[in-house]
C-alpha cells in the first residue's frame, strides 16, 4: 500500500519531497554516496575520492546528507578531532536505487557518446 503526503507532486513548489528529490539528483550526491559505499570515510578522503569537488561544496553537501538522514557524522574525541561520515540505512537505500542508474549509464554510454558525436558533426559544434 502506497502512502503519499498531500501535495506529493514533485512538480509543485510545495511538495514535501522536492528538497529530497533535488538533493538525490544533485551534481555531487551520487559520487559522495558511492565513495561511502565501502564504509566510513574522513572528509579529506571524500574530497580526494570525488575529483573536482571543492571543500566548500563537499562540506555543504555532507551537511545536507546528514540533515536528511542519508549519512551520519562521527566525531572521535582526539586532538585534533577525527571526523568521519558513513551511510545510514536510508542512504544505503538511495545508493541501491542509484546503482540502477549507474548500470543504465554503463549500458548506454556508447550510444550516448555516438549521439553526441553525430549531433556535433551535424551542428558544427
Contact by Cβ (8 Å): 58, 28: yes
**Choices 1.10.760.10, 3.30.950.10, 1.10.10.10, 1.10.287.110: CATH for 18-123:** 1.10.10.10
Residue length of the chain: 125
C-alpha neighbours within 13 Å on the C-beta side of residue 14: 3
Domain locations along the chain: 18-123
Supply the pTM of this predicted model.
Answer: 0.81
Contacts with 43 (C-beta within 8 Å, 6 or more apart), sequence order: 55, 58, 59, 62, 83, 84, 85
Task: Provide the CA 68 distance to its chain's centre, in angstroms.
Answer: 12
Residue pLDDT, tens place only, 55-103: 999 999 999 999 999 999 999 999 988 999 999 999 999 999 988 999 9
Amino acid at each position: 500500500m502506497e502512502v503519499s503526503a498531500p501535495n506529493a507532486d514533485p512538480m509543485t513548489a510545495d511538495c514535501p519531497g522536492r528538497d529530497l528529490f533535488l538533493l538525490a539528483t544533485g551534481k555531487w550526491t551520487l559520487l559522495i554516496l558511492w565513495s561511502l559505499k565501502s564504509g566510513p570515510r574522513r572528509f579529506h578522503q571524500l574530497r580526494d575520492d570525488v575529483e573536482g569537488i571543492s571543500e566548500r561544496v563537499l562540506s555543504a553537501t555532507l551537511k545536507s546528507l546528514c540533515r536528511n538522514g542519508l549519512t551520519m557524522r562521527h566525531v572521535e574525541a582526539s586532538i585534533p578531532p577525527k571526523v568521519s561520515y558513513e551511510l545510514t540505512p536510508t542512504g544505503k537505500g538511495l545508493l541501491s536505487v542509484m546503482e540502477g542508474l549507474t548500470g543504465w549509464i554503463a549500458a548506454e554510454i556508447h550510444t550516448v557518446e555516438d549521439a553526441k558525436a553525430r549531433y556535433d558533426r551535424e551542428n558544427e559544434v
